[in-house]
């Protein structure tokens, strides 16, 4: 197996993308996630633990890049403490005033940010605090863009029904090439079944060989 990828699930759940958020400087996992040492080796980063509102689905609520982590302001103080401990001083934690789960509303890398139309009123504030350009867009006409896509600083994998205009807008603001693909043997929601950064990716156990190949290509690990 190439060192840039591995496969796992969480207690039989192939939606591993909901349990972990990885960037090039930090990684946060839910406490239920096992095989942590393999994930850390694949992503080449330490993985801190956190729970949010008593749940291990940390990626549903959090979004960010190497220098910044966006969290919704409705989290409990205990949630914020566990997140801060997981991130340490590797990124700035910014609270966003919203009732939405930001992991589904934001797609970000170190070059730019894509924002769901559901939180378009937050665009100026997100641009101000991040210092990055943001683009408001759906993916495959879907508002939950964090599930419909997965991006790193090297590439982006999108829902197979993404439109040409959506793909062009996403490629421009994130400054990476994008491609389409599935995960978990046919799921069109890459963000639900993959945890990734520029060093590697962890895909769900149910992902097929052709899917792994497409993910590797889209994220820039093979040509």
Q: Percentage helix, strand, coil, to 5, in the chain?
A: 35, 25, 40
Other C-beta atoms lying within 10 Å of the C-beta of residue 127: 15
Each residue of 135-150: pLDDT tens digit?
Answer: 999 999 999 999 999 9
Q: What is the pLDDT of residue 170?
A: 98
Q: What is the pLDDT of residue 84?
A: 97
Q: What is the pLDDT of residue 149?
A: 98
Is pTM beyond 0.85? Reply is yes
Q: What is the pLDDT of residue 223?
A: 77
Q: Which two tokens stand for residue 173?
A: 């603001």
CATH architecture of 5-218: 5-stranded Propeller (3.75)
* Residue spans of the chain under pLDDT 70: 1
Q: What is the pLDDT of residue 1?
A: 55
Q: What is the pLDDT of residue 141?
A: 98
Domain range summary for the chain, segments of one domain joined by +: 5-218
């Amino acid at each position: 197996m190439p060192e840039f990828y591995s496969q796992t699930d969480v207690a039989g759940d192939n939606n591993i993308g909901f349990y972990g958020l990885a960037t090039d400087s930090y990684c946060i996992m839910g406490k239920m996630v096992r095989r942590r040492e393999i994930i850390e080796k694949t992503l080449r980063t330490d993985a801190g633990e956190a729970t949010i509102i008593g749940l291990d689905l940390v990626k549903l609520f959090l979004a960010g890049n190497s220098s910044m982590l966006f969290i919704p302001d409705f989290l409990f103080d205990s949630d914020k403490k566990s997140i801060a401990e997981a991130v340490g001083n590797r990124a700035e934690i910014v609270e966003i005033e919203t009732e939405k789960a930001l992991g589904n509303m934001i797609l970000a890398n170190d070059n730019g940010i894509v924002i769901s139309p559901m939180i378009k009123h937050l665009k100026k504030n997100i641009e101000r605090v991040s210092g990055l350009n943001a683009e408001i867009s759906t993916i495959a006409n879907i508002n939950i863009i964090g599930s419909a896509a997965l991006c790193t600083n090297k590439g982006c994998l999108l829902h197979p029904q993404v439109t040409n205009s959506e793909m062009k807008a996403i490629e421009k603001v994130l400054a990476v090439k994008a491609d389409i693909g599935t995960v978990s043997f046919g799921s069109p929601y890459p963000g639900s079944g993959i945890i990734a950064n520029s060093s590697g990716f962890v895909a769900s156990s149910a992902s097929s060989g052709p899917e792994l190949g497409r993910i590797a290509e889209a994220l820039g690990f093979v040509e």
